């Protein structure tokens, strides 16, 4: 009876966000310290077996919690622990996952569980999308960035020597369980990368969220989970609205690329060691917005407001002009390029982004001009 009651109470305390995509719809649980929600999410899938994918850091930090959630299911499980880091977001890692699954003789009812940050999520999701022509997967994000961004919306893939995320697929997960308890062991620099993606979605799509970030910036930068919880939920809801409208990025989903055109270029130019993804996005956001302000497309006070917020969130916002120039060739080879123009998110006002084509050379000149003018 006690067990039954606690199950009912737990069920009542579940308040998932739904991603409405017809027969590809799924629920995102946002919680703090609820391994039972992962157990439930997996049980609902009733898999024949599990391919559990994580990386070495996540296994060390969170392995016990995952074990607690999965052991009671009594489902046959193959564990794969990848080496951590963006450099491992490669075909070789995907191959390892295919080999492990096929070696274990999985069938089409296998469930892939991606337990980790965006790298593990993108790799495991891609492996799931291709294995036996597509099997189900569940996202268990353990970084703030993965909770609010990479685990939501079904983009999967890996990097190529010619650029980031150049090979991939759209494959929606069957469920997402975002348990903030995992953030306890996340290095603060990584946590702040997640705040960059939250600021991004606020700037293009949710003015109220932008205000909340400004109000609680200090607590958020310090990783206060009580301050984080409502903001994580709201950021996910904002991304879900965009994904529901444009699952395959034919239009408005490209808003979520704010800061990523310049950001990706900085990451590649820095050989993925100089900047973490979220830091590159913060720098890219300010640079792109400054470029658009110089073209008269974005109000300059808003650029200053966003730049101040990012700085208060503990993120880098200023770059030497020389680094932008050196990274420029990677902007020109961006996959969002369309002839001589880029499809760029343009922030017209707070929470109001639009996607427009901007000629690459015009952006380059504007960036140089605005940076020159802005330097003290
Ligand atoms: N698919 C999408 O829509 C999408 C969206 C945004 C970003 N991304 C991708 O996500 C990736 C970045 O994700 P990320 O920032 O989560 O990086 P990540 O997966 O590399 O994780 C960051 C680091 O934190 C460690 N870690 C993770 N969780 C931890 C925890 N709870 N405790 C201690 N250490 C932990 C990891 O081992 C890693 O070293 C990039 O490859 C980016 O392209 C994808
Ligand atoms: Zn990103």
Is 355:346 a contact under the CB 8 Å cutoff? yes
Comparing 21 with 11, which gets the higher pLDDT?
A: 21
Q: Which ligand 1 atom sits nearest the alpha carbon of residue 62?
A: 31
Q: Number of helices (H) and strands (E), helices first, in the chain?
A: 15, 12
Closest to 200 measured CA to CA, from 298, 282, 261, 300: 282
Q: Say how far apart CA 66 and CA 52 lie, in whole Å.
A: 10
What is the Å distance from ligand 1's center to 117 Cα?
A: 3
Q: Say how far apart CA 344 and CA 54 lie, in whole Å.
A: 33
SS3 call for 274: coil
Q: Say how far apart CA 29 and CA 41 lie, in whole Å.
A: 9
Phi, psi of 27 (to 5 degrees): -105, 145
What is the Å distance from ligand 1's center to 248 Cα?
A: 22
Nearest C-alpha to atom 12 of ligand 1 is from which residue?
Answer: 118
CB 237: neighbour CB atoms within 10 A?
17
Closest to 229 measured CA to CA, from 239, 214, 216: 216
pLDDT tens string 284-304: 999 999 999 999 999 999 999
> Measured from the CB, is residue 65 less than 6 Å from ligand 1?
no
What's the predicted TM-score (pTM) here?
0.94
Q: Say how far apart CA 37 and CA 322 lie, in whole Å.
A: 48
pLDDT tens string 90-111: 999 999 999 999 999 999 999 9
SS3 call for 299: coil
Query: What is the average pLDDT across 81-87?
Result: 95
Is 202:235 a contact under the CB 8 Å cutoff? yes
Is 236:18 a contact under the CB 8 Å cutoff? no
Q: Which ligand is nearest to the CA of 165?
A: 1
Comparing 128 with 10, which gets the higher pLDDT?
A: 128
What is the Å distance from ligand 1's center to 196 Cα?
A: 13
Handedness of CA 114, 120, 124, 126 (dihedral sign): positive
Phi, psi of 110 (to 5 degrees): -65, 150
The secondary structure of residue 17, as a DSSP letter, is E
Q: Say how far apart CA 243 and CA 256 lie, in whole Å.
A: 10
Q: Which ligand 1 atom sits nearest the alpha carbon of residue 157?
A: 1
- List all residues 6 or more positions away from 148 whose beta carbon is below 8 Å from its beta carbon: 194, 197, 198, 201, 232, 235, 236, 239
Q: Which ligand is nearest to the CA of 163?
A: 1
Q: Say how far apart CA 191 and CA 204 lie, in whole Å.
A: 21
Query: Tell me, what's the pLDDT at 4?
Result: 52
What is the Å distance from ligand 2's center to 278 Cα?
A: 6
Looking at the predicted structure, is the pLDDT value of residue 212 above 80?
A: yes
Lowest mean pLDDT among 3-12, 107-116, 263-272, 306-315: 3-12
> Measured from the CB, is residue 28 less than 6 Å from ligand 1?
no
Q: Say how far apart CA 195 and CA 211 lie, in whole Å.
A: 14
Tabulate helix, strand, coil % of the chain (nearest 5): 55, 20, 25
Looking at the predicted structure, is the pLDDT value of residue 376 above 50?
A: no
Q: Give me the chain's average pLDDT, please.
A: 92
> Measured from the CB, is residue 192 less than 6 Å from ligand 1?
no
Q: Give the model's confidence band at 374: pLDDT under 50 very low, under 70 low, under 90 confident, else very high.
A: very low
């Amino acid at each position: 009876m006690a067990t039954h009651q606690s199950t009912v109470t737990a069920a009542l305390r579940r308040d998932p966000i739904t991603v409405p995509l017809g027969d590809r719809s799924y629920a995102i649980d946002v919680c703090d310290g609820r391994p039972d929600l992962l157990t439930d999410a997996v049980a609902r899938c009733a898999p024949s077996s599990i391919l559990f994918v994580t990386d070495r850091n996540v296994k060390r930090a969170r392995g016990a919690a995952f074990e607690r959630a999965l052991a009671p299911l009594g489902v046959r499980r193959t564990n794969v622990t990848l080496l951590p880091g963006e450099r491992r977001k490669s075909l070789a890692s995907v191959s390892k996952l295919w080999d492990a699954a096929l070696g274990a003789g999985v069938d089409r009812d296998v469930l892939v569980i991606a337990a980790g940050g965006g790298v593990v999520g993108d790799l495991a999701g891609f492996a799931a999308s291709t294995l036996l022509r597509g099997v189900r997967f569940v996202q268990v994000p353990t970084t703030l960035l993965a909770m609010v961004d990479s685990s939501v919306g079904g983009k999967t893939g890996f990097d190529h020597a010619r650029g980031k995320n150049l090979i991939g697929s759209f494959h929606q997960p069957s469920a997402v369980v975002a348990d903030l308890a995992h953030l306890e062991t996340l290095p603060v620099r990584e946590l702040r990368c997640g705040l960059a993606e939250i600021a991004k979605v606020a700037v293009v799509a949710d003015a109220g969220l932008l205000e909340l970030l400004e109000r609680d910036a200090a607590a958020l930068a310090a990783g206060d989970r009580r301050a984080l919880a409502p903001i994580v939920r709201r950021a996910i809801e904002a991304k879900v609205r965009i994904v529901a409208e444009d699952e395959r990025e034919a239009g408005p989903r490209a808003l979520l690329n704010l800061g990523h055109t310049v950001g990706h270029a900085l990451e590649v130019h820095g050989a993925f060691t100089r900047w973490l993804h979220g830091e590159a996005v913060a720098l890219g956001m300010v640079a792109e917005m400054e470029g658009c302000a110089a073209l008269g497309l974005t109000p300059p006070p808003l650029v200053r407001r966003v730049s101040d917020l990012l700085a208060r969130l503990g993120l880098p916002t200023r770059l030497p002009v020389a680094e932008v120039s050196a990274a420029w060739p990677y902007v020109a080879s961006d996959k969002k390029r369309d002839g001589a123009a880029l499809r760029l998110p343009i922030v017209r006002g707070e929470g109001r982004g639009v996607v427009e084509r901007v000629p690459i050379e015009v952006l380059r000149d504007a960036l140089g001009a605005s940076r020159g003018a802005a330097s003290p």
